[in-house]
Structure 1
Amino acid sequence: MRTLVFLFGDQLCRDISALSGFDPASDVVAMAEVDEETRYVPHHKQKIAFVLSAMRHFAEALAAESIAVDYRRLDDPAPAACLTAALEAAIARHRPDRIVVTEPGEWRVLALVQTWPQRFGLPVEIRGDDRFFCTRRDFAAWAAGRKDYRMEFFYRAMRRRTGLLMEGEAPAGGRWNFDAENRRPLPPGLRPPERRRFAPDATTRAVLDLVERRFGDHFGDLEPFGWAVTRDDALAALEHFIAEVLPGFGDHQDAMKSGAPFLFHAVLSPYLNVGLLGAREVCARAEAAWRTGAAPLNAVEGFVRQVLGWREYVRGLYWLMMPDYAASNRLGATRPLPGFYWSGETPMRCLAEAIADTRRHGYSHHIQRLMVTGNFALLTGVAPAEIEAWYLAVYVDAFEWVELPNVHGMAIFADGGLMASKPYAASGAYIDRMSDYCGGCRYDPAVKTGPRACPFNLLYWHFLAEHRPVLGGNPRLAMPYRTLDRMSPGRRATITREAVAFLEALERPAEPGLFG
């Protein structure tokens, strides 16, 4: 039986399930750079370049094993307009008896794949994606009967199941979670380590030229490009993180600093999400660093929690709840996305810095995403679909299965508390405590009202007042609501007046291409 294995652009690992049992004597791998996939949101130029270059390098690695690879490029004379067209052309060339795929990472693509048997009159085998610790079925079994889905309980179950950071039946160090030790601001003068970057080779340089020609109006800077695009370079990035960066990750993972977008973060998520690295190997390397004394437990636990906990959890929730999940909007948010999310032109320094980092690198770390750009979207009531499309477009590591739950549930509370026990809303005091952004800003987090008041302060209290019918009974918000109630009527009226004026004056939305 002649098999055509169709690989998607985020399935770039040799042990992907679709390649299990592959017969080089008869079978063919099909891969395609698809125009529709580069444009359904205006992806950051570095994101497009990263994925296309990694795909080309992976195809070259397969060919070096004498595996037949049918690869279509965007700059071919007849590029593939969509995934179905790419497969149709490959079927016409190779006349297979069946199609084999690993399940796609996104719901919309799986829905498309499920139409292929009828369309092409061929059997299509959809294999599970075993790169993850937790299968979709296992997550559904864990979630069955629960009223809400708290990551902490899922994470503990995964620790027990995998044995990671366990000492017999007990968690290492006697605690499941060292998050309380992971919130220290950066001390003055501390210099974060340099990050490992990789010079583009000829293949990557050709892709960069292609992206500049075809996607020059997309958001983001294309140069300098330093992402790993091969398995070997991704492994080098992992080893650099373990040896040079991980020891400082635990204490300062929630810190933010102007001009330092990476700090002590791993910056491995792009490689995990396209398959250049595996979740099991990165967790094993981190655990080994703790067991050999090379990294402290709070750093290693915090990192493992992000991979074994959050990453697996949001994927499980995505597949459990889609497609209806994306349509929920518990807080009734409808505001258009402000144009400065694309331009970065705002006097609020925290937002300007986070967006500038995103523009330059296609990256910002999770606190910038959650507590700056996400927090502002939450407090101003940006429509879920608009802020979610922005996150999906601008980050190199953003694929819908991981981006959507993180934004929809964690950042903007659109699911009404299915994921998070409270909205992650914060005033300017939090940003001031965890960053150096407030120094030199037009606004002052210590000023509560008036023209110099930090907009986050006004918006925070206005948000609580406006959404009291939904949030007033939340026990985790009892203290801020008591504080709100103790304010004088005059101060509450001033906050409302100034917050509403700020919201009405927000920059109107702009097309992302204007800021390419």
Structure 2
Amino acid sequence: MAELRNLVLVLGDQLDLEAAAFDGFDAAHDAVWMAEVAEESTHVWSSKPRSVMFLAAMRHFAQALRAAGRPLHPMRLDDPTNQGSLAAQLQADIERLRPARLVMTAPGDWRVLQAIKDVAQAHGLPLEIREDRHFYGSVREFAAHARGRKSLRMEYFYREMRKRHGVLMQGEQPEGGQWNFDADNREAFGAAGPGSVPPRAVFEPDAMTREVIALVEARLADHPGRLDDFAWPVSREQALVALQRFVTERLPLFGRYQDAMWPGEPWLHHAHLSAALNLKLLNPREVVDAAVAAYRAGAAPLASVEGFVRQILGWREYVRGIYWTRMPGYAELNTLDAQEDLPAWYWTGATDMACLRDAIGQTLQHGYAHHIQRLMVTGLFALMYGVQPQQVHAWYLAVYVDAVEWVELPNTLGMSQYADGGLMASKPYVATGKYIQRMSPYCKGCRYDPAQRSGDAACPFTTLYWDFLMKHEAALAGNPRMALQVKNVARLNDGQKQAIRERASAIRRGEVR
């Protein structure tokens, strides 16, 4: 066998033929390594839709590699020689293939990076980690932005990115004369509901994906989630179709209704592109460019396009910078000392709270929920309940098809659970059930009353909101964005406070759910 010069490692979230790891690739001397291993579905209790998303996309990418003439050494999940973990499989294949060097694009998970580094060191092999060009900016550039700042608000970073990359700019000024259009966005649906919403782009599983579905059903039978209507894009070609469909059909109303919720309507006007982006089936530049082109052509309003661009050019780049400049310590943060266990019904959706039942139910069915369902329903409840943030992180990483740790961890620990003490968010995002009532009709069909904070009919969100403020009153009093909310605690008499505490205790004991 000819000497193998470079063994190019490709992970399940690096499915890009143009990745830096392939620079200088020579089919006569180099080969690609990919491995499907059980560890990636078991280190957190990965849902069936998430596991199928990654495995099916990996197999379609392996097909694209072969078509491109790149020698491939794959390991399938059901291969009897499978070692079960990335590290063990890589070690076994190094001994078999004897490469002179390992090459990879920077991964999106600290745990995986350390495991690969350890294997390379144990074998005395050089490991070349190349820049991930998928992103607009590098981690080094984010670190330079963060240096010396007392706070790391996304808004300032986002404005820098807009200027640097000339996105929605008129010279030195933002398009339309303002940096964001929140005042024009984030409406609730009227009483009649969302009306006619274009159907999402669906992709009937082909033979390869059906094979993966059968494998996951067999191997991960006890994992949460359903696969009877799996229809996510698992190839670049499908992802491009999904992008075009969003820009044409849903982008015009995306901004206006991006925070709205409606029972039984999981998709609404959202993009559903985050999984394709995070697995690198789509490049963020082509996604942003397509949205901006729609605005320039008069096909989508500036408010919607700016709101969408901010999620990708701003928030997505920002959380990656937070992750890689703060790990590994960031994963252990717990500023509020939250120690409760995640309620078991997060894995089943078996709760009487209509908003949570719907959000968790669709999450388990599709591996998807939009950002407000994550932040202000499932995340909000966990925050006020006092769930240990690492357990919340494990749940989010497990259940969503777009979950890769670099993006999921900061969103969960920082934005949702305030576990980083305000590094990312200027305040804990806490609210009573009245917020959910304002943004959706869930409360009309719920046994709980969002206006009540104690008693048998009290909405658990409202009870836990007041309990949260009382518990953290001293710590939050100095936060200017929380001052008015905290002051309201003083209006409660001792009897009211005791009733709230008793109701909150009953919720945490599982007597109310």
Q: Do these two structures clear the TM 0.5 threshold for a shared fold by scoring above it?
A: yes
- Secondary structure at the residue paired with 1:476? coil
CA-to-partner distance for each residue in 1:217-268, whole Å, 9 max, x for gaps?
Answer: 1010011110111110000000000000100101000001101111111010
**For residues 87-106 of structure 1, what are the structure 2 equivalents within 5 Å?**
87-106=90-109
- Secondary structure at the residue paired with 2:259? coil
Aligned twin of 2:395: 390
Aligned twin of 2:246: 241
In structure 1, what is the Cα distance between the partners aligned to 2:317 and 2:5?
A: 34
Name the aligned partner's letter for residue 249 of structure 1. Answer: F
- Secondary structure at the residue paired with 1:114? helix
Which of 32, 37, 40 aligns to 2:35? It is 32
Aligned twin of 2:489: 484
Q: Is 1:376 aligned to residue 386 of structure 2? A: no
Which of 498, 504, 507 aligns to 1:502? It is 507
1:35 Cα deviation from its structure 2 partner = 1.6
Name the aligned partner's letter for residue 442 of structure 1. Answer: R
Aligned twin of 1:325: 330
Aligned twin of 1:407: 412
Aligned twin of 1:128: 131
Aligned twin of 1:146: 149
**For residues 263-412 of structure 1, what are the structure 2 equivalents within 5 Å?**
263-412=268-417
**For residues 18-97 of structure 1, what are the structure 2 equivalents within 5 Å?**
18-97=21-100
User: Contact between 2:288 and 2:312, CA under 8 Å: does it hold in 1?
Assistant: yes
1:506 Cα deviation from its structure 2 partner = 5.1
CA-to-partner distance for each residue in 1:99-123, whole Å, 9 max, x for gaps?
Answer: 1111111111111222233212221
Q: Is 1:252 aligned to residue 257 of structure 2? A: yes
Aligned twin of 1:185: 188
- Secondary structure at the residue paired with 1:207? helix
Which of 421, 437, 458 aligns to 2:442? It is 437
Deviates more, 1:490-499 or 1:163-172: 490-499
In structure 1, what is the Cα distance between the partners aligned to 2:317 and 2:229?
A: 31
In structure 2, what is the Cα distance between the partners aligned to 1:50 and 1:153?
A: 34
In structure 2, what is the Cα distance between the partners aligned to 1:482 and 1:443?
A: 26
Q: Is 1:4 aligned to residue 7 of structure 2? A: yes
In structure 2, what is the Cα distance between the partners aligned to 1:354 and 1:166?
A: 37
Q: 5+ unaligned residues in a row in structure 1: which ranges? A: 509-516
Percent identity (aligned): 55
User: Contact between 1:338 and 1:506, CA under 8 Å: does it hold in 2?
Assistant: no
In structure 1, what is the Cα distance between the partners aligned to 2:170 and 2:511?
A: 53
In structure 2, what is the Cα distance between the partners aligned to 1:96 and 1:503?
A: 54
User: Contact between 2:91 and 2:119, CA under 8 Å: does it hold in 1?
Assistant: no
Aligned twin of 1:162: 165
Q: Is 1:208 aligned to residue 213 of structure 2? A: yes
User: Contact between 2:341 and 2:391, CA under 8 Å: does it hold in 1?
Assistant: yes
Per the normalisation by structure 1, the TM-score is 0.96
> How many residue pairs end up in the alignment?
508
In structure 2, what is the Cα distance between the partners aligned to 1:246 and 1:151?
A: 23
Per the normalisation by structure 2, the TM-score is 0.97
Q: Is 1:449 aligned to residue 454 of structure 2? A: yes
Aligned twin of 1:419: 424
Q: 5+ unaligned residues in a row in structure 2: which ranges? A: none
Name the aligned partner's letter for residue 284 of structure 1. Answer: D
- Secondary structure at the residue paired with 1:475? coil
In structure 1, what is the Cα distance between the partners aligned to 2:119 and 2:220?
A: 30
User: Contact between 2:506 and 2:512, CA under 8 Å: does it hold in 1?
Assistant: no
- Secondary structure at the residue paired with 1:59? helix
Report runs of 4+ in structure 1 exceeding 4 Å deviation: none
- Secondary structure at the residue paired with 2:445? coil
**For residues 101-116 of structure 1, what are the structure 2 equivalents within 5 Å?**
101-116=104-119
